[in-house]
Structure 1
Amino acid sequence: MTTLTSLSSKAVTILGAGTQGRRLAFMWTRLGRPVYLIDQNNEQLSRAWTDIQSLRSSKEFEYISKDFDSWGSVSLTPASSSDFKKALRDSWLVVESVPEKLDLKRKVLEQLSEASSPESIIASNSSSYSISEILQGLKVKNNERFVSLHSYWPPETPAIEIMGSEQTKPEIIDLLMEETRKHGFQPFHVRRQSTGYIYNRIWAAIKREALFVVQEGVATPKEVDDIFKNVLKTPSGPFQLMDVVGLDVVLDIENHYAEDRAGIPEEPRVLLKDMIAEKKLGVKTGRGFYEY
């Protein structure tokens, strides 16, 4: 009889070889188990392998491989190849790590539902959409095996949040808590449905209030960042971090919170819209709350 525990000795498939995907591949090969890293862009796969090797050779992250003999293999798999279906059949866990677009994530999860083994756990790495939101209206096989598995910036920030839907089997949560911990993550169980999970929900409130302070003319972005860093002893302030993320992305996330919860003030979003209209998106355009 196949059990969840016996499944966990098989491979992990990660769909999306971007920055998150390649860092997840690094983490999930810690115990010598194989990972399939899938992307439709061959250049993205090549860059991913270079980054994975760099992470493995970094002295800063030697603790990840401590007490283990060797890394697991990473199979760089084009999404168009026949190996894609083999990867899904061989994997106990399939993680989508595609761009943060709801329609795209829904399309991907439908495809994974059809092509994967019926016993495989299917997880979304979405930072703003819960698995319940993504699955809403979709016809998928065995919806009790779907889960949100949101990571931050592994291995530097190994926190990972695990949130099921009302249909998710409790034993899947237990297994993921155990396996993520073994692979060097620090797992946190999100016990109820929560837009933004745990950390991002709290961080959203900090960002929103920081924007409100500037919009009202109480302080400048630099003054907010300086007092934030002075009190909390952090290397960056809210506006510096928003510039890194991209103000268009910050606005998309704020709009999502506003749709989900009544009473969220509009003023912070107005400020973001004004910045975006001036093509001040942050680091990626060279101008945001700061110049780069």
Structure 2
Amino acid sequence: MTMEHVMVIGAGQMGSGIAQVCAMNGYHVILHDLTQEFVERGITSIQKQLKRQVEKGRMEESEMENVLQRIEVSTSLKNAAKADIVIEAAIENMETKKNIFEQLDEWAQEHTILATNTSSLPITEIAAVTKRPDKVIGMHFMNPVPVMKLVEIIRGLATSEEVYTKVRDMAVSLQKTTVEVQDFPGFVSNRILMPMINEAIYTVYEGVASPEDVDEVMKLGMNHPMGPLTLADFIGLDTCLFIMETLHEGFGDDKYRPCPLLRKYVKAGWLGRKAGRGFYEYS
């Protein structure tokens, strides 16, 4: 069975980005969210991204229109019946994901692969609520999806070799580079990245250096394109905290204990760029 029809669950930043790259590479896409307003917001985001490509001369106007025509909108999970693969990009909450996968398992055709874009939650646990755990897999795109080349492909305990191969080949068709990862908390990307960010927060918490100086050390000393605290603000401090808590719970090791300053900022609503304030202020 060839994979031609993709359903993306969640029309936020990640979901709309995934829908965009799928449509740009010839797939027919169903972009789904809870309300028409949410889906339309996602479509508007895609249109803005594509218009920038046209303005920069990287895409023809007609090509942009063709991409947009390959995307249909959805507010009913029953539309999963049309898809060869569903990529879930809803909020990073296990109960929400389990609920979605139970419904997808009911509505999707027998051959349909169910993928999750989770950045840290166990694939095996999500797969366990379905009757097709062999067809459940992690497909972790990096943000922003149209720019970042990497996709972590995570095997659950029961994921079949055939499903892994199909998903890997699809990611390659999206002009992405793939890495194969086993189902451990945080996978590879966040298991390494988040403790680094957490340690950077500790250096501020302990008064070792200012956020600006911590970021400067990592940019100029370690050749990182962006400092860890700027990156934390971009990701969202609430997301960073959630992933650190997932790592801490999953491994039971205090080296993953979230910094108290991270908890304080999240409680204060200083969530980073999206809230206008985190380690830096944004106008």
Equivalent residue in structure 2 for 1:14, among 8, 24, 43: 8
Could you say which residue in structure 1 is the equivalent of 2:86?
Answer: 94
Listed as ranges, the gaps of 5+ residues in structure 1 are 1-5
Matching of residue 259 in structure 1 with residue 256 in structure 2: no
Could you say which residue in structure 2 is the equivalent of 1:194?
Answer: 184
Range moving further from structure 2, 267-276 or 199-208: 267-276
Equivalent residue in structure 2 for 1:74, among 55, 71, 74: 71
Range moving further from structure 2, 282-291 or 166-175: 282-291
Aligned residues: 277
Letter in 1 for 2:90: V
Matching of residue 49 in structure 1 with residue 49 in structure 2: no
Distance 2:11 2:91 in 1: 11
Provide closer, same or farther for how the CA distance between residues 29 and 61 of structure 1 changes in structure 2, counting only shifts above 3 A: farther
Q: What SS class does the counterpart of residue 8 from structure 2 fall into?
A: strand
Provide closer, same or farther for how the CA distance between residues 279 and 37 of structure 1 changes in structure 2, counting only shifts above 3 A: closer
Could you say which residue in structure 1 is the equivalent of 2:146?
Answer: 155
Distance 1:266 1:149 in 2: 24
Provide closer, same or farther for how the CA distance between residues 20 and 126 of structure 1 changes in structure 2, counting only shifts above 3 A: same
Letter in 2 for 1:159: L
Provide closer, same or farther for how the CA distance between residues 266 and 96 of structure 1 changes in structure 2, counting only shifts above 3 A: closer
Q: CA deviation at 1:233?
A: 3.2
Provide closer, same or farther for how the CA distance between residues 213 and 183 of structure 1 changes in structure 2, counting only shifts above 3 A: same
Letter in 2 for 1:186: T
Q: CA deviation at 1:178?
A: 1.1
Q: CA deviation at 1:263?
A: 2.6
Q: CA deviation at 1:126?
A: 0.9
Residues 215-242 of structure 1, C-alpha deviations (whole Å, 9 max, x = no match): 3332222211111111233342111121
Distance 2:248 2:180 in 1: 24
Could you say which residue in structure 1 is the equivalent of 2:276?
Answer: 286
Equivalent residue in structure 2 for 1:32, among 16, 19, 26: 26
Letter in 2 for 1:56: L
Identity %: 29
Distance 1:99 1:246 in 2: 13
Q: What SS class does the counterpart of residue 149 from structure 2 fall into?
A: strand
Range moving further from structure 2, 91-100 or 239-248: 239-248
Range moving further from structure 2, 53-62 or 13-22: 53-62
Distance 1:180 1:56 in 2: 20
Q: CA deviation at 1:93?
A: 0.3
Distance 1:121 1:31 in 2: 19
Q: CA deviation at 1:70?
A: 5.1
Matching of residue 110 in structure 1 with residue 102 in structure 2: yes
Q: What SS class does the counterpart of residue 29 from structure 1 fall into?
A: helix
Provide closer, same or farther for how the CA distance between residues 264 and 133 of structure 1 changes in structure 2, counting only shifts above 3 A: farther
Distance 2:252 2:133 in 1: 29
Query: Which structure 1 residue ranges, 4+ long, deviate > 6 Å from structure 2?
Result: none
Matching of residue 133 in structure 1 with residue 125 in structure 2: yes
User: What is the TM-score of this pair, normalised by structure 1?
Assistant: 0.85
Letter in 2 for 1:55: Q
Q: CA RMSD in A?
A: 2.6
Residues 201-228 of structure 1, C-alpha deviations (whole Å, 9 max, x = no match): 1101211221232233322222111111
Q: Answer whether contact 2:25 2:174 (CA < 8 A) is retained.
A: yes
Distance 2:95 2:116 in 1: 13
